[in-house]
């Protein structure tokens, strides 16, 4: 009987160790979601962090029951998000995200994990009501895109203009807080439709040349202003104009230090042109929500980097 027990143990122990090793690979499923960033060929994957996970493995396939290839291995200390790029519009992709205990080993994809199905969407045509929607030179809006819930911000602006209601409410809090410090920061530009942005880009091409215009202005459909989430602001000492020197004013410095508290970020900082594609704009703020703005400010990253772009 003892011999039988020893023999069984000799057979089962290696199998048990093999199973344990597999669990150190990509065997554990995480709660995840995936969505296509319209018009860009990009898919944003986000998931909840798993306790004691050393990292995460992202797998992709173009067939639900096909072979899943490893796309990326991420450190467990990083944000739980990944941006998959350069997918063809109209194509359907399938993803599996697994937590791993050992980032030094090659992860294996578990067949037991249910895949996330995502169809790569065309340019944004309807408002997704998402403060984190990414619009830049690679992610664009359609000619007919109009954000919902546009309201007047004229009370806090140099002229009559509109932005999304949630942006107006957040900016009112920012404006009042700045006022308590003796600062008058007003909106000089907010929502712009496709046609107006097209006119503005053509104007700056004539004035500065196309090469410079591409650094300081967006083509129609590539401008955050069309989302209703972006604002340009200034102060009296700058003649309510949009100048880099605004960043050196008390108003500009206060804005850079405090706008995150109200859900805004300075979208185009001086050292981020290589990432965002645009030159320094201390006046351009973007509403992303208080939670995201706090993380972006504390991590000192761009919206692209925060989303894993």
Which residues have C-beta within 8 Å of that of residue 221, sequence separation ≥ 6? Answer: 123, 140, 141, 142, 143, 145, 194, 197
Answer for the pair 110, 26: CB distance below 8 angstroms, yes or no: yes
Asked if 259 and 183 touch (Cβ cutoff 8 Å), the reply is no
**Cβ-Cβ contacts under 8 Å for 93 (sequence gap 6 or more):** 43, 60, 61, 62, 84, 87, 117, 118, 119, 120
Point out the residues that are catalytic: 281
* Distance between CA atoms of residues 76 and 255, nearest Å: 33
Q: Tokens 């003649």 — which residue?
A: 239
Q: Other C-beta atoms within 10 Å of 26: how many?
A: 28
Dist CA 52 CA 49 (whole Å): 9
CA distance 266 to 293: 9
Instruction: Give the whole-angstrom CA distance, residue 192 versus residue 254.
Output: 26
Q: Collapsing DSSP states into helix, strand and coil, what is residue 205?
A: helix
Cβ neighbours, 10 Å, residue 99: 23
């Amino acid at each position: 009987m003892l011999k039988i027990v020893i023999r069984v143990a000799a057979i089962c122990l290696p199998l048990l160790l093999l199973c344990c090793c597999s669990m150190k690979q990509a065997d554990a499923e995480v709660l995840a979601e995936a969505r296509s960033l319209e018009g860009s060929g990009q898919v944003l994957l986000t998931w909840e962090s798993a306790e004691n996970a050393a990292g995460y493995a992202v797998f992709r396939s173009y067939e639900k029951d096909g072979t899943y290839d490893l796309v990326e291995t991420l450190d467990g200390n990083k944000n739980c998000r990944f941006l998959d790029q350069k997918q063809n519009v109209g194509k359907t992709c399938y993803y599996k995200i697994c937590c791993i205990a050992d980032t030094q080993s090659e992860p294996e994809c578990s067949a037991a994990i249910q895949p996330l199905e995502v169809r790569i969407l065309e340019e944004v045509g309807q408002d997704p009501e998402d403060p984190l929607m990414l619009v830049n030179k690679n992610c664009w809006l359609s000619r007919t895109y109009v954000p919902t819930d546009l309201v007047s911000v004229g009370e806090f602006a140099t002229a009559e203009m509109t932005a999304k209601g949630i942006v107006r409410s957040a900016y009112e809090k920012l404006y009042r807080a700045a006022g308590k410090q003796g600062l008058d920061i007003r909106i000089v530009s907010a929502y712009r439709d496709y046609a107006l942005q097209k006119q503005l880009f053509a104007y700056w091409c004539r004035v500065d040349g196309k090469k410079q215009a591409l650094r300081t202005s967006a083509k129609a459909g590539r401008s955050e202003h069309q989302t209703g989430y972006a604002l340009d602001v200034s102060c009296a000492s700058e003649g309510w104009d949009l100048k880099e020197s605004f960043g050196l004013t008390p108003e500009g410095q206060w804005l850079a230090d405090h706008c995150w508290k109200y859900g805004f970020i300075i979208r185009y900082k001086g050292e981020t042109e290589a990432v965002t594609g645009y030159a320094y704009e201390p006046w351009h703020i973007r509403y992303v929500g208080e939670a995201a703005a706090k993380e972006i400010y504390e991590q000192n990253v761009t919206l692209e980097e925060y989303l894993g772009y």
